[in-house]
């Protein structure tokens, strides 16, 4: 019983390892690898980096800001949409809070739509033209309109 407990908390390795699960597992390769080099990997999934795309956060009120903060902390490029918030004081409160988060995480914040869409960029990244086009198609990116 003590041995099972030690194994379950990771202080001891089991004496045997079940081999039955190895036959049913499938590998997942990063998208940077050439997964079509042989027939063995034809069923693998193509995985892209989640940081390759802008994460869009639509806020309805200040209490929804937690998810936005996590994305900023994890260095994602985030488009924050606060157009649905009518109360100007709440908009200002959200913008002040997000500006502080951007400053602490060494990110930049800029307006990409006068109606209330802001882009938060980590210091080490830029907005690719494909993502700018995607945001324009969604109606989020309007600089000179």
| pLDDT tens digits, 7-42 | 777 777 777 655 544 454 454 444 444 444 444 544
Bridge partners of residue 118, in order along the sequence = 80, 111
Can you spell out the DSSP letters for 72-95?
HHTT--EEEE-TT---HHHHHHHH
- The Cα 76–Cα 65 span in angstroms is 15
Please name which of 99, 91, 95 lies closest in space to residue 60, comparing C-alpha atoms: 91
Question: Which pLDDT belongs to residue 18?
Answer: 52
CATH of 50-137, one of 1.10.3470.10, 3.40.50.10470, 3.30.110.150, 3.40.50.970: 3.30.110.150
User: What residues does each domain of the chain span?
Assistant: 2-47, 50-137
- The Cα 76–Cα 82 span in angstroms is 18
What's the pLDDT band for 144 if we cut at 50, 70, 90? Answer: low
The pLDDT tens digits for 32-80 are: 444 444 445 444 444 445 566 888 999 999 998 988 888 888 889 999 9
- The Cα 13–Cα 57 span in angstroms is 43
The pLDDT tens digits for 88-128 are: 999 999 999 999 999 999 999 999 999 999 999 998 888 88
Question: Which pLDDT belongs to residue 142?
Answer: 85
Please name which of 88, 51, 85 lies closest in space to residue 71, comparing C-alpha atoms: 51
């Amino acid at each position: 019983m003590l041995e099972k407990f030690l194994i379950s908390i990771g202080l001891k390795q089991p004496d045997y390892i079940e081999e039955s699960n190895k036959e049913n597992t499938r590998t997942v390769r990063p998208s940077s690898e050439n997964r079509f080099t042989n027939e063995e990997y034809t069923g693998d999934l193509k995985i892209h980096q989640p940081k390759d795309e802008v994460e869009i956060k639509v806020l309805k009120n200040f209490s929804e800001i937690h998810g936005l903060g996590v994305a900023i902390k994890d260095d994602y490029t985030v488009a924050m949409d606060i157009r649905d918030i009518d109360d100007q004081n709440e908009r200002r409160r959200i913008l002040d809070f997000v500006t502080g988060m951007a400053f602490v995480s060494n990110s930049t914040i800029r307006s990409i739509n006068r109606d209330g869409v802001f882009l938060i960029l980590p210091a080490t990244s830029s907005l690719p033209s494909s993502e700018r086009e995607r945001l324009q198609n969604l109606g989020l990116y309007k600089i000179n309109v």
